[in-house]
Amino acid sequence: MDSNDRALVADLQRLVRRLNELPDTREPQETRLGALVREHLGVAAHTVPVTSEKVSAHRLADADIALGVIASEDPDARLVGVAGGMERHHEDTQSLLAHRYSGFAPGPVEYVTTPVGPGASRETVAFGLHLFRFEGAAVAVLVRNAMPMHGREAVTLDVVAAQEGVAGRLLRRMHEEMNEHSVIRGNVVSFTADEYGHGLGSLTFLPRPSVGVDDIVLPDGVLDGIRAHVIGIGEQAAALLAYGQHLKRGVLLYGPPGTGKTLTVEHLLSATPSRTAILLQGGSLRFVAEAARLARTMTPAMLIFEDVDLVATERGMFGGPQPLLFEILDALDGVGGDADIAFLMTTNRADILEPALAQRPGRVDHAAEIPLPDASARRALLALHARDTPLSSAALDEAAERAEGVTASFTKELVRRAALRAALAGEPLSDAHLENALDEMLGAAAALTRSLVGAAGEPGGEPFSS
């Protein structure tokens, strides 16, 4: 660069700075999109107020369905997209209708595939402008999907309506339809953290498990007590409310790993096929506030926090001041007592939970211990897990006797090992395989495996559960 070039650059820089300081005197010009909306509304669209509403990112499909229901009441309803470059994602609705220099125009509607059930999805409008009449008044509704990478955490609905009060009534109706037709209602869902980490996470639909009472072996009365609290209160909701009794309930299942806590949760899910269930575990436990909100909207609902001890000391959402565990317990409290919501918490470590529960009383009204199986429970477990095998009753008796102190999941693994041994040897499964498998699993050589699969009483064992 010679001195002339440098002078030129300096002049240009001054010019740009000055241009930025001067007010932009250009008036926004109606865009082709604006003209379309003007024809529909009968007035210049960018002079009409816009009423905006945010909807949780995971309810895009619900919003789309609700809008479809309402718009379909007008036989002349139309849906258009918006053309005009990436800017259309960042401009507000009024600027899409009238702009100083960008020419937004009707274009193709943008769709996104959204999950609507386990293994099911639908094409959902991700960016589109609905033009229809609501209660006889012309309205335009712009729907834009959340774009967390661009800082848009929620779905936005912008209602353009010339007549006063129409937008508010339309949005109220939208919420009614969203709740009535929600794809989440009646499903089992879970949140998964998005790749950007801080968002609300996306919703995953899980297949509803199928676990009957006969698939669970617990001490007498334990499962009945849990069922009465979780299912029974829901079934008697009307009668309880009539007597002024609350429906909200908190149930804690605690006991060593591998004793059937998750299995019990799965059973409760399968026994309440029409109840919306939201399952949080591990990293997704931080979505507790959002999950509680969703549960309130979707009652009757079940909100499940799996293995809460794992986050007992972790900080809450956005590293908030209080431990996540307290956030979870507070979410239980933030729900009205007359809401038919069952909270379920499972933990391997009741001792970690106890102090927190003592500081937040009233959250849990039924605590059930899921203990290690005793000899007769081990026998019942072996019978259950060996129900499709030719193993003899005497062999199961003996194995139950020998497997002192093991967990329920150990008994399951034992039968599988026996079957595997037989298969590897090319022999039909026999009692000897069971005996050998048990020798192996209880043997000192298998100390690590043994502690991993849950045999207690091993010196220095169970490194992962303490």
Ligand X SMILES: Nc1ncnc2c1ncn2[C@@H]1O[C@H](COP(=O)(O)OP(=O)(O)O)[C@@H](O)[C@H]1O
Nearest to 409 by CA among 392, 431, 433, 385: 385
Question: Which residues are CB-contacts of 269 (< 8 A; sequence separation ≥ 6)?
Answer: 188, 208, 209, 211, 277, 302
Selected from 93, 95, 262, 264, the binder of Mg ion by CB under 5 A is 262
- Residue 114: CB minimum distance to ligand X, A: 30
Closer CB to ligand X, 66 or 263, in the complex:
263
- Residue 348: CB minimum distance to Mg ion, A: 8
Closer CB to ligand X, 115 or 454, in the complex:
454
Residues 203-224 as b or e (16 or more Cβ within 10 Å = b): bebeebeebeeebbbbeeebbe
226 binds, among Mg ion, ligand X, none (CB under 5 to 8 A by kind): none
Interacting span for Mg ion (CB under 5 A) from 20-28, 150-158, 255-263, 293-301: 255-263
Interacting span for Mg ion (CB under 5 A) from 181-189, 254-262, 271-279, 429-437: 254-262
Q: Is 120 helix (H, G, I), strand (E, B) or coil?
A: strand
For the chain, state the CA radius of gyration: 30
259 binds, among ligand X, Mg ion, none (CB under 5 to 8 A by kind): ligand X
- Residue 442: CB minimum distance to ligand X, A: 18
Decide: 411 and 378 in contact? Cβ < 8 Å.
yes
Closer CB to Mg ion, 264 or 297, in the complex:
264
- Residue 329: CB minimum distance to ligand X, A: 20
Q: Which residue is at the shortest CB distance from ligand X?
A: 260
Closer CB to Mg ion, 262 or 284, in the complex:
262
258 binds, among ligand X, Mg ion, none (CB under 5 to 8 A by kind): ligand X
Distance between CA atoms of 232 and 368, rounded to whole angstroms? 16
- Provide the CB-side half-sphere exposure for 19 (13 A, CA): 6
Percent helix, strand, coil in the chain (nearest 5)? 45, 20, 35
Confirm or reject binding of residue 407 to Mg ion (CB under 5 A).
Answer: no
- Residue 212: CB minimum distance to ligand X, A: 11
Q: Which residue is at the shortest CB distance from Mg ion?
A: 262
142 binds, among ligand X, Mg ion, none (CB under 5 to 8 A by kind): none
Footprint of ligand X (CB under 6 A)? 216-218, 257-263, 381, 384, 408-409, 412
Closer CB to ligand X, 104 or 254, in the complex:
254
Confirm or reject binding of residue 348 to Mg ion (CB under 5 A).
Answer: no
- Residue 91: CB minimum distance to ligand X, A: 50
28 binds, among ligand X, Mg ion, none (CB under 5 to 8 A by kind): none
Number of C-beta neighbours around residue 200 at 10 A: 19
Closer CB to ligand X, 81 or 454, in the complex:
454
- Residue 244: CB minimum distance to Mg ion, A: 36
Closer CB to ligand X, 81 or 260, in the complex:
260
Distance between CA atoms of 443 and 350, rounded to whole angstroms? 30
The tokens describing 179, both together, are 């709740």
- Residue 263: CB minimum distance to ligand X, A: 3
412 binds, among Mg ion, ligand X, none (CB under 5 to 8 A by kind): ligand X
Amino acid in position 317: M
Question: Which residues are CB-contacts of 455 (< 8 A; sequence separation ≥ 6)?
Answer: 403, 405, 406, 407, 410, 441, 442, 461
Nearest to 363 by CA among 345, 378, 348: 345
Distance between CA atoms of 67 and 71, rounded to whole angstroms? 6
Distance between CA atoms of 293 and 310, rounded to whole angstroms? 23
Q: Is 360 helix (H, G, I), strand (E, B) or coil?
A: coil
Phi, psi dihedrals of residue 365, rounded to the nearest 5°: -110, 5
Closer CB to ligand X, 262 or 272, in the complex:
262
Closer CB to ligand X, 59 or 450, in the complex:
450
Residues in contact with Mg ion by the rule CB under 5 A: 261-262
